[in-house]
Chain A
Amino acid sequence: MINFSFDGKTYQAHKGDTLAAALLRNGIGLVGRSFKYHRPRGIMTAGVEEPNALVTIGDGGRSEPNTRATDVFVYEGLVAKSQNRWPNLSFDIGSVFGLAAPALSAGFYYKTFFGSAKRWMFYEYFIRKAAGLGNAPTKTDPDLFSQRAAFCDVLVVGAGPAGLSAALEAAEAGKRVILVEQDNILGASLIRDGQDRDGAWVESTQARIRAAGGRILTRTTASGYWEHDLVTLTQRIAEPGQTPSHGVAQRLWHVRAGQVILATGSIERPMAFAHNDRPGVMLSQAVRTYVRRFGVVPGKRVVIATNNDDAYKTAYALKAAGAEVVAVLDARPAPAGADSGLPVYNNAVPLSTNGARHCLKSVTARVNGLTQSWDADLIAVSGGFTPVVHLHMQAGGTLDWNDAAQAFVPAASRQNVTTIGGAANPEPVFNVVPVSKPKKSFIDFQNDVTLSDVDLAWAEGYRSVEHLKRYTTLGMATDQGKLSNMAALGRLAEKQGVAIPEAGLTTFRPPYTPVTMGLLAGAGAKDAGAHVRRLALYDVHAAKNPIWQPLGYWFRPRAYPVGSETLAQAAMREAKAVRSNVGMTDVSTLAKFEVSGPDAAAFLEIICATTVGKLAVGRGRYTFMLREDGFVFDDGTVWRLDENRYLLTSSTGGADRMATHISYVRQYLCPHLRVSAINVQEHYAGIAVAGPQAKATLSALIGEEPPRHMSTVPAMIAGVPVIILAASYSGERAFEIYVEASHVGPVWAECEAEVSKQGGALYGLEAMEFLRIEKGHLVVGGEVDGRMTPHDLALDKMLNKAGGYVGASGLSRPALSEAGRRQLVGLEAIEGNIPEGAMLITGEGASPHGHVSAAAFRILDGGSIALGQLTDGFARHGEELIATSPTRGQMARVRVVAPHFYDTAGERYRD
């Protein structure tokens, strides 16, 4: 015996019970309240199509709302709670006062949304309270989710008789086979209806498939069919709410299959009659499943309503289990076959039921035009069979109409998929047109849509099935119309006076059954989806407890506060150290490419818009790159390390984009060049040392005269070979030290010791930003925002006059270099501090003439300064403007100046 609880009360289940079976075993008929009208609902099915018996399973972060009681297997300690009721399931205010019913007829949402916003605001509060499913958990899910790929020759979906046979045949033919079954045991219809193949056949088939190398996954649903025969499977390793044994609760499989065989069977249809939604109304095959598989008989006096032969098996099963079958209402006009020994009524359809909250009391039917009633506590209904064509349709397939079965069956597909078994050949049925009152005749139980709602939609002009769906909410929510779509379609076709296939179908979209969001996030669910890229020196920085700054996937130190320093205080102290003494920082993330070969310079003159070929060995220069349309793309430096070997650096943020661009130009546009361009971004860790004492620091480190500005030399630090580039972003004499990342530790330690000996400091990104703004250096993504040409940034004098670079022809368009464009300017505050991102205006109410791209303070002298883009900015130096940021509520009066606030002559670079 297994103990579980439902709404706080403890019950016992048998091993192998679904929660639905266990509830029925304990005589619980009322399981939930309906979505809109709060009508009492019980268990209608024995499968994933269950629309009514939705419960919340588990506690805290592990709780899973809207779980179908038919799709969870009871484990020791399972906690289930009913939903959408208050104060409790049996006494629910919403239903007692009938509060919801008059307000929420078909099209309610439509009409409300199209009405005034006020009306929606008024209704929203009540709707949110009254209509709904379970509550989403508010705590973090403690479980892990795994994602795994698999490849196979044949993927078989569904382990009924057809699926098992197909999987066996393929596996024994030597193919890689995966067989998936959403149930926790194999057999599907065989579990219910032994037929000619019994449990032993299932066992031996399973063993043979495994022996032939086939993989069998149970509790696994093929939930999505995507392009090129990719099928996603959702596998439950632990049951909903259950603590998984190794942390992983569910696994999402990506299966790329050579061929997909769908043996997905069919779903039995309900019938539309008044009060067909109360506890005690069940599908016929579900009743049989409870009787035969679980040994639970859900009623003592049973009425059967059918339009086909299959339901007779239910009658026999019930009789064999000791229940009384009081009537078999067969819609067909004449008896089917020999005397069944059952009280069969032909030309008989149910009209209505009577009952209490928890149970059914009687069934009324029309038999040969006359009304007749039976006392009964269960009605088993079979309105025919709907093939499960969801995956076939997701794969882009088409359907045929099978008139005998009154069902759509799979036809052609552009993917390699076939459907076999019951899903391809549903049983013949007799078409029944509903005759009972449409008002309480439910067709979509989950969304509380009745025949009269379809009629109303029709009356209000909604003709297409897609409109009907949106107007009535039919076919939405967790069951996605598995039971309801055909009934609605039948009614719509009847209204249109056409055959069902002409009425159209709604689109089948993944997933087939609901998928937990965490499963889609996979392992990344715990840290927002993406891995953090760590610097080689991560541990060294972390030990100093810096303020971290995410930069793409990277995390870089933003500042290293000392004591109780704020970010701004720490950054200003660090920046001052650079201006007055020496500072060092980690610049490892910069994009770096090593370009070698006889055509290296020629190649770089295609990538870069500046000249490269004239660089002497050991020299470097600033460079920038253009997009094909002539706008600035990125910038960096280029260094000639050797006769035929160059190092190109560019921005961190654009590193991947630049790698792709370089590869495209080299391989697609210039396949004949003798050049090798290798991405060495992560190969080299980088350390920048900057400040008036940088040269002395470097001398001490390398034991020789450091290279002059824009020169490079190889050297040794701490016994490790390094490359020294004398380049400055801060505006001070500065050096970048590049070293193989795996050996950066001792180099950093020695640099830090030397900087410390000089009385200098480490600096982070914030100080670097202050320094470069004051110096007027650009940042890609800031001043270089994709809308600026070299002329706008005053870089045009550096352009390679010979052309030939990417973007040269785009840039030759006259509009890209004309006067009056947005141009780079400096701004200094006359009054107030300049807000970053502010608009630049001439006066109140005026249109913006530009914006502030970066703001800072003069490091040694104080005062608010900024860089910005201003219409016709070059010609407006000296003009006064207002920099206003309404969103920050900040404003400053500014004067337009040249974008260089510090050492405009560039003397500090040089010795």
Chain B
Amino acid sequence: MMQFTCPHCGPRDQAEFIYERTVDAVVSLDAAPEEAMKSLFTRNNPRGVDEEIWRHTYGCRAWMVIARNRVTNEISATRAVGPEALP
């Protein structure tokens, strides 16, 4: 069980989070069909650091991008995603 540092809540247990997908699998709303399918089905899947989208579903419900090393689980960066918010 990992521990993530939520940009809004601080360090929290992984059990509060739900994994969504990697950043390279995001399909923008105006993506052309080929582009959308490439995002959905052809991903980088590096052995090492990847940018993952997680949601603090059972905490503040906010989304974030976590740079996680998929071999060591080291978290090198976390950034908030979402509408403009007060501190």
Report if A and B touch in the complex (beta carbons < 8 A): yes
Is B73 touching A227 in the complex (CB atoms < 8 A)? yes
Asked if A672 lies at the interface with its beta carbon under 8 angstroms from chain B, I say: yes
In the complex, residue of chain A having the shortest beta-carbon distance to the beta carbon of B62: A667
Nearest B residue to A230 via CB reads: B1
Q: What is the 8 Å Cβ interface bit string for chain A, positions 806-824, against chain B (1 contact, 0 not)?
A: 1001101100000000000
Residues on B with C-beta less than 8 A from A628 are 27, 36, 40
Some 16 contacts from A to B, beta carbons below 8 A apart, are A227-B2, A227-B14, A228-B73, A230-B1, A396-B72, A414-B74, A660-B18, A660-B57, A663-B55, A664-B20, A667-B83, A668-B82, A804-B29, A809-B31, A809-B35, A810-B33
Q: Are A226 and B32 in contact (CB under 8 A)?
A: no
Given contacts A230-B3, A663-B55, A663-B63, contact A809 B33 (CB under 8 A): yes
A226 touches which one: B1, B63, B74 (CB < 8 A)?
Answer: B1
- Is B28 an interface residue when CB atoms closer than 8 A count as contact? yes
Contacts of A141 in B (CB 8 A): none
Q: Given A628-B27, A809-B31, A810-B37, is A667 in contact with B81 using a C-beta cutoff of 8 Å?
A: yes
Residues of B near A672 (CB, < 8 A) are: 83
Residue-wise interface mask of A (656-676) relative to B, using a CB-CB cutoff of 8 A (1 in contact, 0 not): 000010011001111110000
Query: Which 9 residue pairs spanning A and B have beta carbons closest together?
Result: A667-B82, A228-B3, A671-B83, A809-B33, A227-B2, A809-B36, A628-B27, A812-B33, A227-B73
Tally of A interface residues using CB under 8 Å: 28
Further 15 A-B residue pairs, CB within 8 A, beyond A226-B1, A414-B74? A227-B1, A228-B73, A229-B3, A230-B3, A256-B13, A629-B37, A667-B62, A667-B83, A668-B81, A671-B84, A809-B27, A809-B36, A810-B36, A812-B33, A813-B33
When distances are taken between beta carbons in the complex, the residues of chain A under 8 Å from B14 are 227
The residues in A between 598 and 625 inclusive whose CB is less than 8 angstroms from any CB of B are: 606
Tell me the smallest distance from the CB of B77 to a CB of chain A, in Å: 15
Main secondary structure of the interface of A (DSSP, over half): mixed
- The answer to whether A606 touches B63 (Cβ under 8 A) is no
A812 to B30, CA, bound (A): 13
**Per-residue A-contact encoding for B4-45, CB less than 8 Å = 1, 0 else:** 000000000110001010000011110111011100100000
Do A663 and B61 form a contact, CB below 8 Å, given A228-B3, A804-B29?
Answer: yes
Binding site for B on A (CB under 8 A): 149, 226-230, 254, 256, 396, 414, 606, 628-629, 660, 663-664, 667-672, 804, 806, 809-810, 812-813
B66 at the interface (CB under 8 A from A): no
Q: Which residues of chain B from 54 to 81 have a CB within 8 Å of any chain A CB? A: 55, 57, 61-63, 72-74, 81
Residue of A nearest to B25 (CB): A628
Instruction: Report whether B37 and A813 are in contact in the complex, using a CB–CB cutoff of 8 Å.
Output: yes
Q: With contacts A663-B55, A667-B81, A667-B83 known, is A606 near B29, CB below 8 A?
A: yes
Contact in complex: B2, A228 (CB < 8 Å): yes
Query: CB distance B83 to A806 under 8 Å?
Result: no
**Which residues of the other chain, B, contact A396 by a CB distance below 8 angstroms?**
72
Q: Nearest chain A CB to B85's CB is how many angstroms away? A: 10
Q: How far is the CA of A227 from the CA of B33 in the complex (A)?
A: 39
| Residue with the greatest number of chain B CB neighbours at <10 A, chosen from A228, A606, A663, A664 | A228
Docked CA distance A848–B26 (Å): 37
Closest B residue to A149 by CB, please name it.
B13
Interface hub of B32, B33, B62, B74 (most chain A Cβ within 10 A): B33
Q: Contacts A396-B72, A629-B40, A664-B63: A669 and B33 contacting too (C-beta < 8 A)?
A: no
> CA separation between A813 and B26, bound complex, in Å?
18
Complex Cα distance A396/B31, Å?
A: 41
> Of B13, B26, B32, which is within 8 A of A668 by CB?
B26
For the complex formed, measure the closest distance between the CB of A527 and the CB atoms of chain B, giving whole angstroms.
20
Closest chain A CB from B13 CB (angstroms): 7
CB distance from B19 to the nearest CB of A (A): 11
State A228–B72 Cα separation when bound (angstroms). 10
When distances are taken between beta carbons in the complex, the residues of chain B under 8 Å from A228 are 1-3, 73
* Complex CA distance for A227 and B17, rounded to whole angstroms: 15
- In the complex, are the beta carbons of B3 and A256 less than 8 A apart? yes
Q: Which residues of A contact B35 (CB under 8 A)?
A: 809
In the bound complex, residues from chain B placing their C-beta under 8 Å from that of A149 are 13
Residues in B whose Cβ lies below 8 Å from that of A668: 20, 26, 53, 63, 81-82
Q: How far is the CB of A232 from chain B (nearest CB, A)?
A: 9
Residue of B nearest to A667 (CB): B82
Q: How far is the CB of B82 from chain A (nearest CB, A)?
A: 4
Residue in A227, A660, A809 whose beta carbon sits within 8 Å of that of B32 in the complex: A809
Complex formed: what's the CA distance from A813 to B35 in Å? Answer: 12
Min distance, Cβ B87 to any Cβ of chain A, angstroms = 17
Chain A residues with Cβ below 8 Å from B63 are 663-664, 667-668
* Shortest Cβ distance from B83 into A: residue: A671
Q: Please give, as numbers and ranges, the residues of chain A lying within 8 Å of B62 by CB-CB distance.
A: 667
Given A227-B73, A256-B3, A668-B63; A806-B81 close (CB under 8 Å): no
Which residue of chain A lies nearest to B32 when distances are taken between CB atoms in the complex? A809
Expressed in whole angstroms, the minimum distance between the Cβ of B69 and any Cβ of chain A is 10
User: Shortest distance in angstroms between A363's beta carbon and chain B's nearest beta carbon?
Assistant: 50
Query: Which residue of the partner chain B has the closest CB to A656?
Result: B57
Q: How far is the CA of A227 from the CA of B73 in the complex (A)?
A: 7
